[in-house]
Amino acid sequence: MQAPCPVYQKVIRLGDWLRSKRADYKSPERKAAMLIYAAAAIHHESDWPDPPQWPDGLAG
């Protein structure tokens, strides 16, 4: 199995951070995290090219 791309890893960390903000599964943060996880899974499982790299000021 290939290692996840850097973008995928950043997106999962963002989803984890959002999910940690509110435990209530009906909260906007939790819903946003679920959408982020779904988008990351679709990207990771597809043969789509990776998106462009983040500009220097946004890498994190």
Q: Is residue 60 part of a domain?
A: no
Sign of the alpha-carbon torsion through 6, 43, 55, 10: negative
In a domain, 10, yes or no: yes
Residue 41 within a domain? yes
Per the structure, the complete domain to which residue 13 belongs is given by: 6-46
**Does 57 reside within a domain?**
no
In a domain, 35, yes or no: yes
Q: How many structural domains comprise the chain? A: 1
Within a domain: 59: no
Q: Please, which pLDDT band fits residue 1 given cuts at 50, 70 and 90? A: very low
Condensed to tens digits (0 to 9), the pLDDT of residues 2-58 reads 555 677 777 778 777 777 776 666 777 777 777 877 777 776 665 555 555 655 555
